[in-house]
Structure 1
C-alpha cells in the first residue's frame, strides 16, 4: 500500500514541477462573479467505480456561485427514479480556486453529503469529503489530479488521475457556436472502507423484500458478507473512459456524455460490474 501511495504522491509533485518548468510567470486570471444552474439526467449512478446490481437512473439539479476572489459554493440534489423518496441525496460544497502558474490551477474544497433514510447508493455510507485538485494544461493533454479524504461512517483516501483533450469540431462545417468532443481517460485508486461498509451494513430495502416474496428460498439469504483485511489497502479501483460532446450556445452549455467504467480489485461481496453510463447535462451561466 505504501509503495503505491508514494507513487501517487510523486506523480502529484511531478505535475507541479512540470508546471513551473514550463512557465515562471504567475498567471493573471480574469475573474468575475457568476451563477450557474445545471440539470443532469443519467441512466445509472456509481461511486468511484462501485455500483449496485440494480440500476438507479437519476436526475440532479445544481446551483453554483463563484466569487471574483476564487471562493465558490454549490448545492446539488439528486432524485433516483426507482425509489420512493422525493430527494435521495443533497450535497453542499464550498471551495477556493486559484492559479498556481500560467498553465496550472488548484482547487481546495469541502463537501457535506445528506442522504434520505433509505438511500440505496454506495455513496450513502459517506458523510464528508475534503478534496485537493490540480489541473495542468500540457497543450496536447489536459491533466487533472484529485486527492480526496472521505470521513464519517467510513474513512477513505481516493486519488483520481484524468487526462483529456478538447477537440473542436467547428472547422468541419464552419459553425459559429463552439462544438467539440472532450475525450478523457481516468484511473482511480484508493482505499475502500466505503465499499465494505456498504456491503456489510446495508439494510434490506423494499426491493429486497419483494424479491424474497417473488423468489421463494431467497428469504433466508443474508444481506451481509464477511469483512476483509484489504479495505484499507491502497489499490486501483477503476478505469474509466469518457466521451462528452460539448455544445456551447452563448451562456448555455449542453453536454451529453458516454462513459465506460471498469471496476477492479473488488472486495468480497462487492457486486459492481463493468458497464456503460449515459448522461445529459444542461447548464446556464449568468
Structure 2
C-alpha cells in the first residue's frame, strides 16, 4: 500500500482521450531488460535488425560512477505461433573492450484477450572481463511482462528475477499513451508516432553491491563508505526509480527512426554509487523483414 498512491498517479497522468492505432513495427530497445521494456514481438513471422546510440547505460534505475555512452546492435526473430529469439551486442564508446556485452535469449508472446497480452522470456548476459557497465554484476534474467490495453491508455506490470553473481527481484509498473499522426510525411505509408510513458521500478539492488566489489579500486574515488551497512540496505525491496520517457519516431512499413528522451529520478540509493537525476537520449534505427 505504500506505493499504491504513486501507481494511481502514474495511471491517471496518462489517461488522455485519443484513438491509437497499433504499431506497424517491432523492435527491441537495447535496455529492454534493464528497463523492462521487454522484447515486443508481433504475431507473424518476421525478423528485425536495429542499431542504437545511447548517452549512458541505465540498468533498473541505476547507472555507473561515470557516464558510459554506447552503441548496440540487435536482432529479433519472431515466429507466427508467438515464439521469438533475439541477440544483441554492446560497445561502450571510449573504452578498451571491442565488445563489452553480448545478450542472447528467447521467449513466448501470448494474447489472452483483446485487451491483455504478455511475454515470458529468458536472457543470458555475457560480459567482457573488462566491462565497466553496472549491468555486468548480473548474468541471467527471467522476465514476465503483462500489458493491459484500456483504449485510453496502456498499463504494463513486469516482474524480473536476475541471478548470477548477485540475485535481485524487480517489479516495474508503466503507463503509456500511443499517438499516431493522421498525416503522411513523404508518401501515404509513412507516419509519425509518439508514445510517452511514465514508469516506477521497485526491487532489490544487490547488483550495486556486487558491482562495487568487482570495481573497488575504480570506485574509491566515489565515496565508498560503510560497506556492510550498504549491503544490508541493498537487499531490501524498495522503490528504486521513477522515470518519464518521450520517444518520437518516423515510421514506414519496414523501418523506423526513433529519438527518445528519458528523465530518470533514482530514489533509495543505498549502494556504493551516488546516482542522481539524469536525462538520457537514445537514437535508434531498426528494420523489419516480413
Q: How far did 1:32 drift?
A: 2.1
Distance 1:69 1:204 in 2: 49
Shift of the 133–160 alpha-carbon distance from structure 1 to 2, 3 Å rule, reads same
Which runs of 5 or more residues in structure 2 are unaligned?
9-41
Given the alignment of the two structures, is residue 235 of structure 1 paired with residue 238 of structure 2, yes or no? yes
Q: Which runs of 4+ in 1 moved over 4 A?
A: 171-175, 221-225
Cα drift, residue 171 of structure 1: 4.5
Distance 1:84 1:224 in 2: 29
What does 1:31-110 align with in structure 2 at a 5 Å threshold? Answer: 31-110=43-122
How many positions carry a matched residue from both structures? 252
Indicate the residue corresponding to 2:200 in structure 1: 187
Q: Does 1:116 align with 2:128?
A: yes
- Is 1:178 aligned to 2:191, yes or no? yes
Q: Is the 8 A contact 1:75 1:92 kept in 2?
A: yes
Query: Are 2:227 and 1:226 aligned?
Result: yes
Pair 1:278-2:281 in alignment: yes
Per the TM alignment, residue 167 of structure 1 is displaced from its structure 2 partner at its CA by 1.5
Task: Note if 1:257 corresponds to 2:260.
Answer: yes
SS in 2 for 1:230: helix
Partner of 1:21: none
SS in 1 for 2:141: strand
Query: Which has the greater radius of gyration?
Result: 1
Shift of 1:52: 1.8
How far is the alpha carbon of 1:93 from its aligned partner? Answer: 1.1
Q: How far apart in 2 are the matches of 1:173 and 1:33?
A: 28
| 1:14 aligned residue | none
Q: Deviations over 1:240-270 (max 9, x none)?
A: 1000002112200111100000100011422
User: Which one of 201, 209, 222 corresponds to residue 196 of structure 1?
Assistant: 209
Contact 1:43 1:58 in 2 (8 A): yes
In 1, the alpha carbon distance for the partners of 2:100 and 2:177 equals 34
Task: Compute the TM-score of the two structures, normalised by the length of structure 2.
Answer: 0.80
Q: RMSD between aligned alpha carbons?
A: 2.6
Cα deviation, 1:175-232, whole Å, max 9, x if unaligned, reads 7322121100000000111112112332435xx7xxx9xxxxx7xx986751232222
- Which string of whole-angstrom CA distances, capped at 9 and with x for unpartnered residues, describes residues 14-46 of structure 1? xxxxxxxxxxxxxxxx83211100100011111
The verdict on how the C-alpha distance between 1:97 and 1:172 changes in structure 2, with shifts beyond 3 A counting, is closer
